[in-house]
């Protein structure tokens, strides 16, 4: 497959309301889009590391510059027929998984468009619909949070994720469990706690949570193993797992019984599939997460959530959930009567194409067309 040209865009996507996590309140999301062209066919990939290096060491500005200055020149004008031909030259670049994912996902989307095959033909996804859950950021007002949870549970939501920070009161979580004794709940800590907090995290065990997601620092595999020995609730690793090797390490140490799979965090679709398949062989759960991407990235995640190794309702959402304006005309689509599931597209490649008008409104930087 000949790559005739490549182009990268850095966008700052405004959120309808700031999203509050243990990292702080985010008013917007920086994302990197990559467009590849082969003949008359174009396709898009995306990776959204965020505006500052909070979730991980990468951030939008740095990711964009690496893609623009180092990765696109290697792509443009090249013939790349197999994924190994794309990823082999990237191995000399350490870490920077979001930059690699922006390029890798665009290549898969282009291959699908050229070969007239959906993304699931390459991820191995066989589901025709994918169940999804609801996520809630940090709330000081427990009554308001209870009302929101009641609303989504009443509409059939299969599971609830609650952000948890150092300021989160265990009693607030107990109130939620008392109000919804049969609901599937889990907490996402975004690495906010330390080894000194294991006793506090043990207090979550009686709540019957589906998992405790990323309670400790990303490199604290031993601490997570110690916690997992002390609690019956499965520990889920997110930020910690940036490669298949990291999951192998976590399994060897007993650091988790769940893994969150995000294509941006691990370097693209192929590494994400490798991690998901390893989780299945090891008998641990897996959930496909998101980085608040546009529908371009959401469709990439959907192709992963269609895989049978994804055992827990995904963290996927329609654009209107977070963004005041849709970047693409094509968004995730629910089947009739299926509010809490999304239909897996059978259209070739990535069906989400950015609108020129919105792209220009949110544009921070544009590499221009790179042809060699």
163 is catalytic: yes
Active-site pick, 100, 161, 218, 262: 262
Q: Considering Cα of 121, then 124, then 128, then 134, what sign does the dihedral take?
A: negative
Cα separation of 241 and 249, whole Å?
9
**Runs of H (alpha helix) within 67-157:** 72-75, 83-87, 97-115, 120-123, 142-154
Taking the CB of residue 324, how many other CB atoms lie within 10 A of it? 11
Q: What count of Cα atoms within 13 Å lies in the side-chain half-sphere of residue 367?
A: 28
CB neighbours of 92 closer than 8 A, spacing ≥ 6? none
Q: Token pair of 325, please?
A: 């304006």
Cα separation of 75 and 77, whole Å?
6
Q: Token pair of 101, please?
A: 């994912």
Q: Token pair of 259, please?
A: 């893994």
C-beta of residue 192 within 8 angstroms of C-beta of residue 167: no
218 is catalytic: no
- 3-state helix, strand and coil shares in percent for the chain, rounded to the nearest 5: 40, 20, 40
Cα separation of 364 and 139, whole Å?
31
C-beta of residue 235 within 8 angstroms of C-beta of residue 256: yes
Burial environment of residue 148 by CB neighbours within 10 A (0 to 12, 13 to 18, 19 or more): middle
Active-site pick, 100, 161, 163, 218: 163
**Which residue reads 């299926």 in tokens?**
338
β-strands 212-213, 129-131 pairing = unpaired
Cα separation of 106 and 187, whole Å?
32
Tell me which residues are annotated as active site: 163, 262
């Amino acid at each position: 497959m000949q790559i005739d040209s490549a182009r990268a865009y850095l966008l700052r996507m405004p959120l309808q309301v700031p999203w509050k996590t243990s990292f702080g309140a985010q008013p917007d999301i920086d994302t990197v889009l990559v467009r590849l062209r082969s003949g008359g066919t174009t396709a898009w990939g995306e990776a959204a590391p965020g505006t500052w290096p909070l979730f991980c060491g990468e951030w939008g500005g740095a990711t964009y510059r690496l893609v623009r200055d180092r990765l696109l020149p290697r792509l443009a004008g090249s013939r790349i027929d197999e994924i190994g031909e794309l990823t082999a030259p990237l191995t000399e670049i350490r870490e920077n998984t979001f930059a690699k994912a922006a390029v890798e996902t665009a290549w898969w989307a282009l291959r699908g468009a050229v070969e007239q095959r959906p993304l699931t033909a390459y991820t191995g996804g066989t589901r025709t619909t994918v169940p999804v859950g609801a996520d809630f950021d940090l709330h000081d007002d427990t009554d308001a949070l209870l009302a929101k949870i009641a609303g989504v549970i009443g509409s059939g939501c299969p599971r609830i994720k609650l952000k948890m920070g150092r300021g989160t009161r265990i009693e607030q979580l107990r109130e939620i469990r008392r109000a919804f004794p049969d609901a599937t709940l889990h907490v996402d800590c975004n690495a906010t706690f330390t080894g000194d907090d294991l006793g506090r995290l043990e207090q979550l065990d009686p709540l019957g949570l589906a998992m405790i997601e990323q309670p400790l620092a990303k490199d604290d595999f031993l601490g997570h193993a110690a916690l997992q020995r002390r609690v019956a609730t499965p520990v889920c690793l997110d930020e910690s797992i940036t490669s298949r090797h990291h999951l192998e390490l976590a399994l060897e140490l007993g650091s988790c019984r769940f893994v969150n799979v995000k294509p941006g965090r691990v370097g693209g679709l192929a590494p994400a599939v490798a991690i998901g398949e390893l989780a299945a062989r090891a008998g641990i759960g897996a959930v496909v997460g998101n980085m608040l991407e546009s529908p371009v990235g959401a469709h990439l995640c959907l192709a992963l959530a269609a895989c049978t190794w994804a055992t827990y309702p995904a963290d996927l959402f329609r654009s209107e959930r977070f963004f005041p304006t849709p970047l693409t005309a094509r968004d995730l689509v629910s089947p009739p009567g299926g509010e809490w599931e999304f239909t897996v597209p059978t259209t070739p490649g990535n069906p989400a194409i950015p609108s020129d008008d919105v792209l220009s409104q949110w544009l921070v930087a544009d590499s221009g067309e790179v042809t060699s």
